[in-house]
Structure 1
Amino acid sequence: SDRTAAIISDHSIELVVGILAVLKAGGAYVPIDPDYPEQRIQYILNDSKTEIVLTQSHLQQRLAHEGTIVLLDDENSYHKERSNLERISNIKDLAYVIYTSGSTGKPKGVLIEHQGLTNYIWWADRVYVKGEKTTFPLYSSIAFDLTVTSIFTPLISGNAIIVYGDKDRTTLLSSIIEDSRVDIIKLTPAHLQLLKEMNISPECTIRKMIVGGDNLSTRLAQNISEQFQDQIEIFNEYGPTETVVGCMIYLYDPKKDRQESVPIGTAAANMNIYLLDTGMKPVPIGVPGEMYISGAGV
């Protein structure tokens, strides 16, 4: 319980297996992008006090790790045991530790508990999947929490993940669009800017976009909506890393939304949003205030 295991892996089925293995064993996973500089990787390993690293053979030589290293691509790492493990985690145990840039310039570990993770993916399933058959792409860095949506939401709903490799991240988005194998995608406004320059085929299967990580301008949302002949739903999802990916949601309406930015909407399930003044009192409607967030995801 609360022991950490780092995962340093390219996008692969083994990456997903490794994440699930750590959670089922009662540990917390620490996702680290293999493209990070070695100094940053080592800092995260030391700061998280990680004893076990799950990685791939071609990445092992980059690690100066004195603890246990498990190779995800080595068949000897798998015992072909089919029985289920005893569940030992509770809602307050750590599920993962994700490192953000930090205000000091050093990576800062954000601790996410099972309660928060479970609440988010349960809510995401209700909002984005709604009992439908749907497929998510796994293409974004595992070190960013938007990838949490792409991994766990399809798995808890009995749906599929299409794993896109790391051959060239600059062309990944166009590959996903051209493949027409997924119908929902999690991405950032920066991704949308790239998407705006692409020719979208009428055969493109994407019908839902979950946008997060930065301000979403109404103009950009309108451009993307028109590019898809208004046959797409664009969800603006807001939330600091500390609130487990997202804590607010808004479905963009191309006919009504005319503000400079797409609103961030209303609170996710079991979350509370307060706008307070300097005296910690709720501000009247239309008066600026500071946002306070509470609930199952904090």
Structure 2
Amino acid sequence: MINFAAESHVDRSIHGPDDFIQTNVVGTFNLLEAVRAYWQNLPADDKAAFRLLHVSTDEVYGTLAADDAPFAEIHAYAPNSPYSASKAASDHLVRAWHHTYGLPVLTTNCSNNYGPYHFPEKLIPLVILNALAGKPLPIYGDGQQIRDWLYVKDHCSAIRRVLEAGQLGETYNVGGWNEKANLEVVHTICALLDELQPRADGLSYAEQITFVQDRLGHDRRYAIDARKLERELGWKPTETFETGVRKTVEWYLGNSGWIANVTSGAYRDWVQQQYGV
């Protein structure tokens, strides 16, 4: 069993933290109790084979300075947003249910995912869609916040590997080894759009970049040390940021129907509220 379920957007957690506590903390507790009851009543062979993999985030570790080593699994938790605090709490609950009740759990902490079907309020799809619509490309603060970008299919392959071979009770960090500043990410997307679907006026989409007020408590840098996963389970990502982001841009250019279905009036209102653009 894999638990992907979570409220996951930091911006939304700042405006409405109660949903994050209910889903990520209370929801995880309820899930653990339901799974424990199910697992305890399984036949012996099925019980021995059962696994619960809890998918978490690198944001539970807090923020890094420019010259700090990436987050390893032994890094102390220091969450800085309602979202990351709620995910840290869920990680601790999973750990406690393993040590107290023997529930066979595994935990993964991944870096920033991106790729097809990414909801358009997140940075990469937001920039793609705003660029194509001729809208401003909102960049928080100075745009130098650094994230480690992980293509979604690489993340899924890592989860499969941990589920099949991970040691019970252990945590595995999953990263793409792709540290990029937000502004660099946006310029990369603009360059791809300039190539694949140029503006009618011949100018670069980078002309639409607009700096907006930084979000509250914005962590400066995340970076994942994924060597444990490679060393113990033989996993490493297959996509570079350059190959993955090209696939992502091409997917959004080719799937306007899906985009229209998810970008409702409520979504547009939220973007206006959040970025003021």
* Structure whose residues are more often helix by fraction: 2
* Structure whose residues are more often strand by fraction: 1
Same fold (TM over 0.5): no
* More contact order relative to length (CA 8 Å, sep ≥ 6): 2
The alignment's TM-score, normalised by the length of structure 2, stands at: 0.29
